[in-house]
Amino acid sequence: MANAGFIVAEGQFGKGIGRVMGLHALEEARYAGFQAMQFNFVISTNTRAVALWQSIGFGIIGTVPQAYHHRTLGLVDIHIMHRFL
């Protein structure tokens, strides 16, 4: 199982950067012979990231309660997201 994580710089949202990185990672994982990919740490309040990963086939397979300390929201959940290649 391949694992990946990405951060898009503030001010660069909405330009397709995350999608390009995600699709490239999926392609490389397939090329390397992996059967699936998983993101272990998708912050639940980052609705753009959650929607992006869902739009390219990832599903939420688990949620860890209060696992991330958000600078303004305090403790928030994280999602574990997975998809087969």
Q: Who contacts 81 (Cβ-Cβ below 8 Å, separation ≥6)?
A: 38, 39, 42, 50, 53, 54, 58, 59, 60, 61
| Whole-number pLDDT of residue 32 | 97
| Whole-number pLDDT of residue 45 | 96
| Total-model pTM | 0.90
Instruction: Give residue-wise pLDDT tens across range 21-63.
Output: 999 999 999 999 999 999 999 999 999 999 999 999 999 999 9
| Whole-number pLDDT of residue 13 | 82
